[in-house]
Structure formats: C-alpha cells, structure tokens
Structure 1
Amino acid sequence: MSFSTPPTKLVFLIADGMGDWPVEALGGQTPMEAAATPVMDRLAREGLVGLCRTVPEGLAPGSDVANMSLLGFDPGSHHTGRGPIEAAAMGLALAPDDVVFRLNTVTVSGLADDGLMRDYSAGHIATDVSTRLVERLGRECLPEGYALFPGVQYRHLLVARGAAGREEAHIAVRPPHDITDQGIAADLAEFRRVPALWDFVRKAAAVLSGPDNPSKANAVWPWGQGRALTLPDFAATFGLRGAVVSAVDLVKGLGRAAGMAVLDVPGATGLLETNYEGKVAAALEFLKDGDFVFVHVEAPDECGHGGDAAGKTEAVARFDARIVAPLVAALGDTAALVIACDHLTPLAIRTHAADPVPFLFWARGVTPSGVAAFTEREAAATGLAVAPGHALLPRAIDWMRQG
C-alpha cells in the first residue's frame, strides 16, 4: 500500500444480514449480486476484499455476537447474552447477580405444545402500542422479584433480580426469529423449568388475548438472558474516539458499554423505510472531531427473516445509494472504509447463518484484490480471510495507517 497522506478517519458501514446464498427467485443470484450497488462495486474493485469469520465456533450466529466481533471485542471473552447488551443500551442499573432477558412481543398459533411461532415481531408492532401493553403486563402479571422495561417496537427487557444462581440463568429458549413457523414445544418446556417465569408467560398470553389489544401480539417470549455486560473502553483499546449509529438497541448497547458515543437519529426504524439521510448526517457530524463511526442498517436482516427476496435486494440497493454513496462523496480521501455485514441471513432459512461474511476495505492507494464487484462469491475467490472476526478492526486500523 502507498498512501500519499494516510486517512485519519475510519468508517465501518454494516448492512445487517446482507450476505446470502444463491436464490432461485433471483435467477440463482444472491441479493448482493442482484442489487444495483455501483458504489460498493467500485470500492471493491479499488480495495481489499475478503471474508471475515464474525461468529466464533460454538457461539450462535446472532447480531449480538457478530457486531461485538466487528467492534473489535472477542465474544468468547465478553458475550453474556442478548438481554444484557440491550440493557446497556437502556442504561439499566443491574446488580452483579441480576439476570436480564430480551423479551419479544410475538405472535404464536397458540401457547401450547402444538403451537407454532408465527411472527417474532408481532407484525412489527408500533412502539407506542407495545409500550402500553408491556406496562400493563408489568402491573398485572409480573411475579415478585421481576421487572419489565419497555423498549422499541417488539424489543423489551425482563429482569430477574438476584437470579444468577437460579434456574432462570440456565434455560435455553431459542430466539424467536430463528423459529418462524416452527414448533415451540421445546421452548415451552424450558419456560416450565422456572415456575415463576412460566406463570408470567401464561398470564401475559391471557391478558394479550383480551379485546382491548389492538395488535397482533398474543404472547411474550423471554430469551437471550445473562448477567450485565462489561466491555473495555473503545478509545483506550484502539486509540480512536468512536461512535455508533443504529436503530437497534443491541448495537447501541455495545457502543455504550464500550464508552462510545451513541448517536440517536429520529426516524431510524430498523426497517426498509428508515432515515438513511439522518444516519449519514449524524456520522458526518461526529467525524468532524471523532475518529471512528460504526453505521449499522438493519433492513436487509429484517427482509431475510421475512423471506422477502425482492425486499432484501432493494434493502441492499438502498444501503449502497443512501448510506455508502453519500458518505463516500462527503469524506473523499480523508477516511478509510470497511463495508460488511455482521452475519448472513439467508432467505432459504429465514434466520442467521455462521458463514464467514464478505467485507471490503477501501482507502485511496490500497493495492486492489482484483475483484469485479462486491459479492459473496467475489469475496471468497480472493483468498483473503480474517479470523477471528474481532481481528478485522485492528487489521483495518493497520491498513489505514500504512503509508
């Protein structure tokens, strides 16, 4: 590499779940191959392209694990569960022996052993509606020693006070987005291992079945539990003053736990219709004085979970046109870029896969990998592999500073 003036800023642009497998409905292409992505393709032709293993062996391929890796922290050392990361986003004060669950409002065919998980998001329930419902459940259904905290849309938190040594800490309930249209008997058996938790789940379903519930939510689903999250300070670890931009609490929680700035963007939804321009503006404003920004877009993942090939292709195209393109135009040679997804969310399975993810690194003067476009197949063909995943950020810093 040979930079006339090495860049001073580093920007990570993450399209959640963007990677995929070939899709019959797309003529054997992946959404990355089918989407119009002229800017990412140009950056790939001019940059380094390869694969990164963001999910360590033995850990579930969730956004919590994968984004922790992309932020440079080893999930094998630091990951305690999905709930604790989102608790950090809310700034919840947790005692060392508290256990915090992520709690979804969901739609099931019935809360019984022959029931199916129909929708992990209860139709992407509106935040104002879910907040009222969760507050009511907190008043009417909670057992002693538990607390409920409303969040955004279908994402909430349930805290079991002092439960680190109890059965609550060890139940193995599957993430609801992993089991769309699948049976829930095994998960209900896990809930039943904790009578107080099972009583809450049953009472909540009874309340939600009432006539004054305007939403599709007919059950709650506590999962991803663990003790409070702690991460090393990002600036002290990497020598960069950093920020995160995201609509989802788990990314905000990772940033807050690492002492990073968390930039809130009005109208950021985590869906295909979101405030792309607001995310770009927030990132550029921070980079006036900051050194690193992690911009996260959720829409490809949501479309992957929904099995929506056309929507996912459009989400990738919008990421290119409305996130990547304006940031590249505004930053010019002053920044180095890493573009990646955290994990694959293949349309064929409608959940996450642990495959290595495609990434590109771009800075003016970098020696190109020789690819034609930014796709999964092109990334695999270069032979460049970064593993473990938390090595990608330090590697990018080294690449950026080589002159």
Structure 2
Amino acid sequence: MKYVIIHGDGMADWPCKELGGKTPLEAAHKPNMDLMATRGRLGMVATIPKGMPPGSDVGTMTMLGYDPARYHTGRAPIEAASQGIEMGPRDVVFRMNLVSLKPGDGGALIMNDFTSGHISSEEAAQIVADLRTELAGGGIEFFNGVSYRHLMVWRSGIATTNLTPPHDITGKPVEAYLPKGAGADLLRDLMRRSVEILREHPVNKARRAAGKTEATSAWFWGQGTRPEVPTLKERFGVEGSVISAVDLVNGLGRLAGLKLIKVPGATGFLDTDYAAKARYGLEALKARDFLLLHIEAPDEAGHMGRADLKKEAIERIDELIIGPMLAGLGGLGDFAILLMPDHATPSQLKTHSPEPVPFALMTSAQSKAGGATARRYTESDGTATGLLVGDGYHLIESLFGRPLKTASK
C-alpha cells in the first residue's frame, strides 16, 4: 500500500474580482483534482488551531498528524532540523529573511518585498557569509538557506521576543513591527548593523545596476527551541520521503523521520519543475511507502496578490503532478492519496488566513469506481459536503485507513 499527500501550499483563497468572483480553485481547469473530489471523500479541514498563527509551520505540522498545540515550538527550529543544525535544549533559532525596505510616504521605511525580489541562493550566500563575518560571535551564529530564507541561532538565547513575520506587513511601515520585549535590543542591533553592511554590498550594487530589488536588511522572526516529535514510522509503521524546495517542509519531514529527496529544478517559486517533482515522487514510492510532495508556488502567488498566477500554478499542479501521480500509482498497487493545502493565502490579503481549507482523499478502489455525482475540488464544494475535520491533525489517520474523526458544521 502506498500513501501520498499532495501539499499545495496556500492553494485555498477567497473570491477574486480579477477571476470573475471565483477563487483560483474555482477558476482553474483541473480535471484530476476534480476527479479526486468526485470519486473520493471531499470536505474541509481546520489546519490552524484557534489562537495559533496561520503559518505553514502550523498548517504542515497539522497535515502530518502532529497537534501544533502540543508539538509546535516555532517555525525556525523546523527549518534548522532540515539543515541538520545541532541545537541544545536552551538554544533559540530564528528565521532570518533578507528583506527589502524602502522609504514610503513621509519617509517612513516600509516592507517593500519580504523576498528581496526572490534573490538567488547564490547571491544570498554571499550576503549571509558577510553577515556571519561581521555579526557572529557571543553566541550568535548564521546559517545559509535558500533564496531569501536563512537562519540565525542564539545559543542559550531568549525565545519570547515579540516578532512579526515580514510577509504579514508587505507595504506597511515597519517601525511598529520591529522586535519588542525581552531580547529585542540585541535583535534590533543586529538588524541595524545588517542595514549598514548591505547598503553598498557588492551583490546589491550588481542588483541595483540590473534594476533588481535589493536586499537591504535582515529580518528576524519565527523563533523557537528544538521540538521533539514521534516519527511516522513510530506512529503508522511506514518509511517515507519528502519532496520540497522549502526548508520548513523538509525540516518537518526530517522530524517525522522522512528521507529528503532533492529534485533538480525545484525552486520553491512559480518557475519550479512540476513534472520533475512527480517523476522523483513516483521513484521514491518504489522504495518507501509514504510520500509528502510539497509545491510552494500557489502560496508565493498569493503573497504577490496575483490570483491569476495562483490559478496557473494550480493548473500546472493538476496537469504535471497529480495526473502523472495517479497514472503512476496505478502501477505500484493499492494506494491512498490526500490533496490539501496547509492554509489559505487569500490574494487580496497577500498573507495567510486561518479558516478551514478543502481536502480530497481518494483510494485506488475509489479511483476505479464510477457513477458518483460530479464535484469540484473547491472551497465551496468542500463546504457543501458538510464534512469538517475540526482537529485537522486527525485527517492523516484516515489516509492510513483509520476512521475519520469529524465535526459537524
């Protein structure tokens, strides 16, 4: 038996004017997703527990069957696990974005771009290396990641500082969102000094000359200490793999005991190689029985406020990933496949929101059955079923054939 989760990051949305009042899932041509919704089980799942931030760390932890209220210690520790960074029980790790700040109306600095124009990993590595040379020491360490996403570890540091995800404040003045509380003075000082280092950095000079967005500051958020979770093998008796171009998802996969599969051409952006992810995923399933396949593109489109690009990403996932996966799984024996996002990323918000999201769960037996009333994999059709998994971390149990624990709507 093979078990697959297709993780379409941030696919869920709100009705969009530019799509004629439809959500991207409603507007997209996606026959394979709709087949799963028609023949399998369709409903809604609450991935974000009440009172918790609607981030991919919380949502993906829920997707993998871990109660965030019990296991979540912060976003950055999950990414540190992906990189294999050793952490003691009192060490605190922070996500460090390379962001672009610029003067807005009245001269106040605003969050221009939390990705620094999706700076390349090669350019970012040069910047992080210089930040390490100039700022590390006294228990502060820097670790290079992918594109704009990096990490800072504060050995025996403070985990309670009030920090804000930069993607939540795009276009807003940043002063009100700078670090506050215990540990804030050190973090603000590191950010201030990073601005000085980056002002005339060779990478920024080259980007400026090319008309590209510059990386003007480090921005810290998502801090936490090392989490301890049981593996999927311990819980369900399966060996598995994870495919993602994002350290956060790979980190959760590593914590869950999954093997990280690197796919050439996987970028964590809209230009990712969708078809390669499907090919590598099917190959991984020949050796192991579980696969988490993550696609970041819909979430990135949502953060850009581009519902049209999210629709396009969903159509590519359907054609180049779900279609080939369904065809290939048929040659591997019995299977169960779950399709869902970790949260909604409404294009008009340009950030995440906490409402339940649609899921479709189909087995190999259901894939061969006919005669079901046609349904679409959309927020509205999922809601119309009346099926809601209120504690979303239970949904994975039904993937493994256990009774689905639901709540009435």
CA contact (8 A) 2:7 2:294 kept: yes
Deviation at 1:110, TM superposition (A): 4.8
Distance 2:274 2:250 in 1: 17
Distance 1:90 1:193 in 2: 25
**1:125 match: secondary structure:** coil
1:364-375 to 2 correspondences below 5 Å: 364-366=364-366, 370-375=373-378
**What's the counterpart of residue 172 of structure 1?**
162
* Alignment-mate amino acid for residue 204 of structure 1: S
**2:36 match: secondary structure:** helix
**What's the counterpart of residue 286 of structure 1?**
284
Query: For the structure 1 residues 193 and 87, does the alpha-carbon distance in structure 2 shift closer, same or farther, using more than 3 Å as the test?
Result: closer
User: Cα deviations across residues 52-106 of structure 1 (Å, max 9, x unaligned)?
Assistant: 0011111100001000110111111111111100000000001111000000000
CA contact (8 A) 2:161 2:182 kept: no
**What's the counterpart of residue 251 of structure 2?**
253
**2:128 match: secondary structure:** helix
1:380-391 to 2 correspondences below 5 Å: 380-391=383-394
Distance 1:129 1:281 in 2: 29
CA contact (8 A) 1:98 1:227 kept: yes
CA contact (8 A) 1:108 1:218 kept: yes
CA contact (8 A) 2:179 2:187 kept: no
**What's the counterpart of residue 10 of structure 1?**
3
CA contact (8 A) 1:63 1:342 kept: yes
**2:260 match: secondary structure:** strand
Deviation at 1:193, TM superposition (A): 5.2
The one of 94, 116, 139 aligned to 1:101: 94
Distance 2:372 2:55 in 1: 29
CA contact (8 A) 2:143 2:150 kept: yes
Q: Which consecutive residues of structure 1, in runs of 5 or more, have no partner in the other structure?
A: 1-7
The one of 298, 308, 311 aligned to 1:310: 308
The one of 78, 81, 87 aligned to 1:88: 81
TM-score (norm 2): 0.91
Deviation at 1:192, TM superposition (A): 8.9
How many residue pairs match? The answer is 390
CA contact (8 A) 1:277 1:323 kept: yes
| 1:228 matches 2:226 | yes
Deviation at 1:229, TM superposition (A): 2.2
* Alignment-mate amino acid for residue 15 of structure 1: G
- Percent of aligned pairs with the same residue? 42
**2:119 match: secondary structure:** coil
User: Cα deviations across residues 229-252 of structure 1 (Å, max 9, x unaligned)?
Assistant: 221121011122111111100110
| 1:200 matches 2:190 | yes
CA contact (8 A) 1:191 1:198 kept: no
The one of 369, 377, 394 aligned to 2:397: 394
* Alignment-mate amino acid for residue 153 of structure 1: S
* Alignment-mate amino acid for residue 338 of structure 1: L
**What's the counterpart of residue 210 of structure 1?**
200
Query: For the structure 1 residues 147 and 189, does the alpha-carbon distance in structure 2 shift closer, same or farther, using more than 3 Å as the test?
Result: closer
**What's the counterpart of residue 136 of structure 1?**
130
Moved more, 224-233 or 78-87: 224-233
* Alignment-mate amino acid for residue 289 of structure 2: D
| 1:121 matches 2:133 | no
The one of 254, 259, 263 aligned to 1:265: 263
**1:149 match: secondary structure:** strand
TM-score (norm 1): 0.93
| 1:352 matches 2:355 | no
| 1:51 matches 2:44 | yes
| 1:340 matches 2:340 | yes
**2:4 match: secondary structure:** strand
CA contact (8 A) 1:113 1:183 kept: no
Query: For the structure 1 residues 282 and 68, does the alpha-carbon distance in structure 2 shift closer, same or farther, using more than 3 Å as the test?
Result: same
Distance 2:375 2:256 in 1: 36
* Alignment-mate amino acid for residue 287 of structure 2: D
Query: For the structure 1 residues 113 and 353, does the alpha-carbon distance in structure 2 shift closer, same or farther, using more than 3 Å as the test?
Result: farther
* Alignment-mate amino acid for residue 28 of structure 2: A
**What's the counterpart of residue 23 of structure 1?**
16
Query: For the structure 1 residues 218 and 331, does the alpha-carbon distance in structure 2 shift closer, same or farther, using more than 3 Å as the test?
Result: same
**2:189 match: secondary structure:** helix
Distance 2:140 2:81 in 1: 18
* Alignment-mate amino acid for residue 377 of structure 2: F
**What's the counterpart of residue 26 of structure 2?**
33
CA contact (8 A) 1:79 1:229 kept: yes
Query: For the structure 1 residues 315 and 350, does the alpha-carbon distance in structure 2 shift closer, same or farther, using more than 3 Å as the test?
Result: same
Distance 1:96 1:141 in 2: 23
Task: Quote the RMSD (CA, aligned, Å).
Answer: 2.0
Query: For the structure 1 residues 189 and 239, does the alpha-carbon distance in structure 2 shift closer, same or farther, using more than 3 Å as the test?
Result: closer
**1:360 match: secondary structure:** strand
Deviation at 1:293, TM superposition (A): 0.4
| 1:77 matches 2:70 | yes
